[in-house]
Structure 1
Amino acid sequence: VEVTARVTVTPAAHFVWSNRLDLVHDCLVCLRVGRVVQLRHGMPYGLCTGNEHPAPMRVSAFDAAEHGAERRLRCRITSWWAPFSDSVEAGVQASELSAEPWVRLHYRVGCHTCRDSGVGEWLGMEGALESGAASAVSSCPRCGTALVSAVAGPEIDLVG
């Protein structure tokens, strides 16, 4: 699975993609369809939030790029998968890409306006970008300066 996202940052923003994301995936361990799996780049497995067991998937590529004011992220997620039926919902079949794909990408942002004004806690505000979300603007909670905007949520594709 490949996840891609784009945001635009203002000159007042100090922006960095977080190494963590949440992905809806059909879990081969608990045999449940549509589970939220927490992933971190660098961890050898994910964490299925159903009962917090290790899930056989990981972030195998994490490419962040800057193009002017645009920040791009491309994540490749590798998983071990086989066909199964949901253990609770009769007749529901698993697939390599969930029937309703969804992802939440996390990021951290700081406000240069607050930094330049001497505010000590100007760095480290957390935000997230979710698939299916409409365009959004993230502003500094202290001074209201616009920091990050997204025209669309992340895209999820099944890659070979």
Structure 2
Amino acid sequence: MSAVPERRERLLKVMGVTPWRLRLGEASSGSAAQPANDGPALAGDRVPCVVILPAGASGRELDLLGRALRAFGPATARAARLEVGERGLGDVPASAAYLVFGEAQARALGHDLPAAVMSAAHIVLVDTPAAIVADPAAKRRLWNGLRTLGRALRGA
């Protein structure tokens, strides 16, 4: 049971979300909310973009990726960011486009994403964040991947 709140806090941290708590009044029960991926994915339920990252990326790597994503506008800057842990991704939101950092993360996405959602989505595979920080050619591939993702998001 304790792994669920830890995972939620880790995912919120990766997405750059600061959780706020209501000080006065009754707190609403979280059990009434349903996960986004419970039912079949409809076109109206999709988020514009999801970024899939490897677990344990350094602050420098995340800073570089955040700046690159912000450079391509609000759709990529506000994209949900998920880390691939030991047990995979878990619940992946349905999206029009996925930006995947590394082949291991692409395999995890393919394992956890329903086939119908995957066939309708545009998936862009780029190098791992560690390679992007170290290699100028990987930075060019990231930039080209972001351009491809931007075209896919504009067309969607």
The TM-score with structure 2 as length reference comes to 0.21
Bigger Rg, which one: 1
The TM-score with structure 1 as length reference comes to 0.21
Q: Which has the higher contact order (CA 8 A, sep 6+)?
A: 1
Q: Which has the higher helix share?
A: 2
